[in-house]
Chains A and B, each alone.
Chain A
Amino acid sequence: MVAIGVAALALLFIALWLRERAHATRLRARLEDAQLHLQRLEGAFARFAPQQVVDRIIATGEAAIGEKKEVTVLFADLASFTQLAERVEPAILVRIVNGYFERMNRVVAEHRGYVAALLGDGLLAFFGALDANPWQSDDAAHAALAIRAELAAYNRTLADDGLPTIMLGVGLHRGVGVAGVVGSRELSTFSVVGPTVNLAARVQDLTRVHGVDILLTRSVRDVLDPRFALRELPADQLRGVAGKVTTFALEGFEAMPSGPPATG
């Protein structure tokens, strides 16, 4: 009887142990699934906001975070887009614009900028909005020159395909803005808001007035590497801005002559 009792208890113990093990396995599988799902969500979220913003929102559970930051704003806009839109088929137009955005995004990222928004045919990018960047204005000016070069290459490709070429205006301005996730519950994005951004857009408008492709303000000029070739233009009165604004056409960058031979 005792032996039967012991055997029954052992069987019961084994059955319970097996059940617990199966339960633990199921729980582990569910946890791994949940982690995978979380990773995918994080990955998807990271496409709309920088990683450190995502981390901070996850840590605090608070999306309405804003902080003042000194940034350099690059605002680029296609010139004569309306005429272009009227001249070509919608499918061709989308192809041209997508090719343009693809290239511009790459150039901005290569120069440590962050593309915050594509606004119709315009592009809004920030330098120094994510990590502190003491070289943000140099980066933005180099990016603007690289955009010019990239657009020239793109136009050659378009011309080879028998498509109309495009022109671009770029405005650069440096100042303080409020960086954070902005928008409504349905549509939010990480961006910088404030007069600094508006002024960059107005400066971009001035490219048509002065017949140049890249313009920057004095606040950028003051911290810019002196090897950038600039041409001062007459000051303009801009809508919503007190006083006249002096702008400078960015003409190029003169690399320093080669120094003495390497010692290494």
Chain B
Amino acid sequence: MIAIRDIEWESCLLPASRDAELEAYLRRELGVVPPMARYLTPCPWIVRSMAGVDQYHALLVHLDQRIVDLIGLVVSEDNSCRFCYAAQRAILRIQGFSDQRTRQLQQDLLSASLGRRESTALEFARRFSRASPLMQWSDTEPLRNAGWSDAAIREIAFVAAMLVYFNRLATLPALPPERMEAISESWWLGLVRPFIARRFRLERGTEDRLSPAECAGPFAYLVQELDGLPAARAIRRVLDEAFASPLLSRAAKALVFAVVARGLGCPLSEGEACELLATDGWAAADVEATLSHLDSPRLDRAERALLPVARESIRYEPARIQRRARELRETLAVEPFVEFVGLCALANAVCRLGAALAR
């Protein structure tokens, strides 16, 4: 446990900007424009992903609202992410939780007064996010013993992975938490609650198989592990959009994934990233030399600066991550920097998820 407000947090590395088209898209899909969206508009796929992987939006079939919210609260608090924690508290308030009830929830978490089923899921989500050690499919056995189905376990891992994703999106560019903290504590949130509560009410999805075309593409193994769940198509879309985006080279993107996979100790995701590099003409020896020392003469100046920062994103240490991200921001234009933030976030989510789901 930590006092979240005591966490060292840099000043924001990105200016807020508005994009009418993207905001209209978010309003259409989510009903609101999440506060973090305005900082990430230089890279449209990231903004679109906020709607694409929104857990309340017909994405989960086997989990209920309570466990999703509990996982959100536990992981954001455990990660010491001021932005995500404030966002999670705001969501709980919007759903009708008073401060007292949220405190009670936190006390329940501490005092182990939750049932075995819930506490097992929360412990798994916490360990999944920390990835020390990286969770494997065999680590899901306690969940099964506590009564969770395999499909529900996949969804628990997916929810935790998306928290890792949003956590890195907020942390790397040091998105300002003050506004979110003020929102989560504001008196007027209670007044607007009836109008926006529906957006944060879990809308259950339905089982859905992928088409053969959707089973291919980067990190196909992970998408196939989720097949049957709406989450599979959601993550397929985000991965496809990320790799199709023109802001950073495809090789730089694959290297970011490979570095994160190696740092986490996930050979499956590393192998997948290496295959992408091979299709871009990288010899296996060059890839190995680059991953071993996080540098390569094949990379241009901008790409070379990315790899050490990608490595920093693996372990959740906000001050260190933000210090390194600030150095990188000074050498990169805003668009590739934002795309890099999104890639690190996605790589951290995908590699953790891949390791946990692969059987």
CA distance A197 to B304 in the complex (A): 34
CA distance A264 to B331 in the complex (A): 9
Pick the most buried of A133, A135, A223: most chain B CB atoms within 10 A of its CB. Answer: A135
Q: Which residue of A lies closest to B123 (CB)?
A: A59
- Measured between beta carbons, the chain A residues less than 8 angstroms from B265 are 132, 134
Q: Which residue of A lies closest to B265 (CB)?
A: A132
B residues 93-137 in Cβ contact with A at 8 Å:
107, 110-111, 130, 132-134
Q: Which residue of A lies closest to B130 (CB)?
A: A52
Contact of B304 among A32, A227, A256 (CB under 8 A): A256
A residues 28-48 in Cβ contact with B at 8 Å:
31-32, 35, 38-39, 42
CA distance A154 to B307 in the complex (A): 31
Across the interface, do B111 and A131 meet the contact criterion of CB distance under 8 Å? no
- Measured between beta carbons, the chain A residues less than 8 angstroms from B337 are 264
Across the interface, do B332 and A135 meet the contact criterion of CB distance under 8 Å? no
- Measured between beta carbons, the chain B residues less than 8 angstroms from A130 are 132
Judged by a CB distance under 8 angstroms, whether A184 is at the interface is no
Across the interface, do B263 and A259 meet the contact criterion of CB distance under 8 Å? no
Task: Give the segment of B17-25, B181-189, B290-298, B343-351 that binds chain A.
Answer: B290-298
- Measured between beta carbons, the chain B residues less than 8 angstroms from A263 are 249, 300, 302-303
Across the interface, do A261 and B301 meet the contact criterion of CB distance under 8 Å? yes
CB distance from B43 to the nearest CB of A (A): 12
CB distance from A251 to the nearest CB of B (A): 18
CA distance A52 to B134 in the complex (A): 13
CA distance A225 to B297 in the complex (A): 13
CA distance A132 to B132 in the complex (A): 8
Q: Which residue of B lies closest to A223 (CB)?
A: B292
B residues 297-347 in Cβ contact with A at 8 Å:
297, 299-304, 311, 315, 331-333, 335-337
Judged by a CB distance under 8 angstroms, whether A138 is at the interface is yes
In the complex, besides A32-B107, A258-B301, 5 extra interface pairs with C-beta distance below 8 angstroms are A38-B110, A132-B263, A261-B300, A261-B301, A264-B248
Chain B residues in the interface with A (C-beta under 8 A): 1, 107, 110-111, 130, 132-134, 247-249, 262-265, 292-295, 297, 299-304, 311, 315, 331-333, 335-337
| 17 A/B residue pairs, CB under 8 Å, sorted by A | A31-B107, A31-B111, A35-B1, A35-B110, A38-B1, A52-B132, A130-B132, A132-B263, A132-B264, A134-B263, A225-B295, A227-B293, A261-B300, A262-B331, A262-B332, A263-B303, A264-B302
Chain A residues in the interface with B (C-beta under 8 A): 31-32, 35, 38-39, 42, 52, 130-135, 138, 223, 225-227, 256, 258-264
